[in-house]
């Protein structure tokens, strides 16, 4: 049985961490495939399914 102490993060915090993880994963892959100079914030945001401004947070 799960208790609140098992996962102290609330739904909002988990959602934020999920977005950050997707951004990092996509960015690493694109940097590897296209190089740093060949990767745009727009590409990262689109593939991570987040708003462009979210990438900067």
Structural domains for the chain = 11-56 (1.10.10.60)
Q: Both ends of the chain: CA-CA distance in Å?
A: 34
pLDDT digits (tens, 9 = 90+) for 17-38: 999 999 999 999 999 999 999 9
Token pair belonging to 41:
């914030």
pTM of the model: 0.81
Evaluate if residue 3 carries a pLDDT over 70.
no
């Amino acid at each position: 049985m799960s208790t609140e102490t098992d996962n102290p993060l609330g739904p909002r915090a988990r959602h934020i961490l999920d977005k950050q993880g997707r951004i990092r994963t996509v960015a690493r892959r694109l940097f590897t495939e296209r190089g740093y100079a060949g990767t745009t914030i727009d590409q990262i945001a689109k593939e991570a399914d987040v708003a462009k401004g979210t990438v900067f947070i």
